[in-house]
Amino acid sequence: MFQVWQKFYASSDNAKAYILLSPALILVILGMAVPVFAMFAMSFTTQAGFEIDYSPTFDRYREFLDTGTRTGTILTTLLSRSITISFLVTFFTILTTYPVAYYVAFYVKKNKILWIILMTIPFWTSYLLRVFAWKLILGNSGVINASLISVGLTDEPLSYLMYSQLSVVITLCHAWSAFALLPLFVSLDKIDHSLIEASRDLGCSKFETFIRVTFPLSLPGVIGAILIIFIPTVGDFVTPALVGGTEGRMLSNMIQAYFGRVNNFSLGAASAVIMLFSVIVVTIIVNFVTKRLTQRL
């Protein structure tokens, strides 16, 4: 025992580092790990009214996954919708942001940081208000519809703009753009220009150079952006609640209902666990696929 301690102290960098890290780690353990575990435990209980029966059961998971019942149908639909919407948001956010990151990394010569700061400032203003702003734009009497009508392009407002999956996707793309911009910019900015020169000198066209040199080298940024956008948006609550309507409702809105109005903590906990599980699975898949892809390129 003593020898173990001695060894630990001999490599005292370990000890010193963990002493400094301990407050943050304790917070993560007590504030996140333990509560998530408690929620996991809660998902095996049964709640009737205000009474919670703590005898363990898998019934909540059956309730969630049984598509024969109304609850099961709703919950599984919302889960797959949440994942689809997040996937679309991730894809379009990266697609629209990539050219901008590319421009700043390669074409801007002075004050790159100022450009990046300007593009991240909207991200710091209240999430709630940014989402709400889209209601003013996409709504039936919102900016887009009002201008379309006044120009005479349409007689009645385009109702699919609001309270639909489309409105949720647009709003989320706007809200999360900064999270795509930063990793993309950092990875593009690191690229050694001489590699691009070499590819051009060896006869590749601009397009070929991009596909075969620039893009593969920026993949770490793309992967970073995928994970940093996909994971949080699966659990987004505000956007579907404000601009989603019934059409664009997501799993988090149901979880919130279970912990509020419906008052079924057990089923709410099971739903949250399933959401967390799906997120972890997707993360593993993304990691696996991108590793394969980068090996090929």
Partner 1 sequence: MNFTKNKMLYGYVILYFTFLYVPVMFLPLFSFNDGMHMAFPIKGFTLDHYEEMWSASKLHAALWNSIYVGITASLSATFLAFLAAKAFTKYKFRGQIFTYGAILTPFLIPEIILAVSLLVIWINIGLPLGLTPIIIGHTLFCVPFCMIILISRMEGFDKNLEEAARDLGEGVLGTFYRVTLPILLPGLIASFLLGFVLSFDEFLIAMFLAGSDQTLPVYMWGQLRFARRLPHVLALGAVIIVGTTLIVMLAYWLRNLGQPQEKKNLTIDI
Q: Is 56 in the site for partner 1 (CB under 8 A)?
A: no
- CB 38, min distance to partner 1, A: 4
Q: Is 244 helix (H, G, I), strand (E, B) or coil?
A: helix
Q: Which of 60, 139, 164, 248 binds partner 1 (CB under 8 A)?
A: 139
**DSSP class per residue in 143-176:** HHHHHHHHHTS-SS--GGGSSSHHHHHHHHHHHH
Pair 243, 168: CB distance under 8 Å: yes
Q: Is 227 in the site for partner 1 (CB under 8 A)?
A: yes
Scored b (16 or more CB within 10 A) or e, 183-215 reads bbbbbbbeeeeeebeebeeeebeeeebbeebbe
Q: Is 216 in the site for partner 1 (CB under 8 A)?
A: no
How many residues of this chain bind partner 1 (CB under 8 A)?
A: 90
Considering beta carbons, is residue 73 or 111 the nearer one to partner 1? 111
Residues 234-253 that bind partner 1 (CB under 8 A): 234-238, 242, 252
CA distances from 241 to 165, 267, 271 (A): 12, 20, 17
Piece of the chain touching partner 1 by CB under 8 A; list 65-73, 87-95, 160-168, 232-240: 232-240
Residues 101-130 that bind partner 1 (CB under 8 A): 102-104, 106-107, 112-113, 116-122, 124-130
CA distances from 61 to 231, 262, 292 (A): 22, 17, 33
Q: Is 61 in the site for partner 1 (CB under 8 A)?
A: no
Considering beta carbons, is residue 128 or 289 the nearer one to partner 1? 128
- CB 68, min distance to partner 1, A: 27
- CB 207, min distance to partner 1, A: 12
Q: Is 20 in the site for partner 1 (CB under 8 A)?
A: yes
What is the Cβ-side half-sphere exposure of residue 254, based on CA atoms within 13 angstroms? 27
Piece of the chain touching partner 1 by CB under 8 A; list 63-71, 94-102, 160-168, 289-297: 94-102
Q: Is 250 helix (H, G, I), strand (E, B) or coil?
A: coil
Q: Helix, strand, coil shares of the chain as percentages rounded to 5?
A: 80, 0, 20
Piece of the chain touching partner 1 by CB under 8 A; list 60-68, 71-79, 190-198, 285-293: 190-198
Considering beta carbons, is residue 121 or 281 the nearer one to partner 1? 121
Scored b (16 or more CB within 10 A) or e, 99-109 reads ebbbebbeeee
Residues 148-177 that bind partner 1 (CB under 8 A): 174, 177
Distance, in Å, from the CA atom of 35 to the CA atom of 33, rounded to the nearest integer, reads: 6
CA distances from 48 to 23, 73, 161, 265 (A): 39, 21, 40, 10
Q: Is 293 in the site for partner 1 (CB under 8 A)?
A: no
Q: Is 27 in the site for partner 1 (CB under 8 A)?
A: yes
Considering beta carbons, is residue 17 or 67 the nearer one to partner 1? 17
Pair 42, 266: CB distance under 8 Å: yes
Q: Is 224 in the site for partner 1 (CB under 8 A)?
A: no
Considering beta carbons, is residue 119 or 165 the nearer one to partner 1? 119
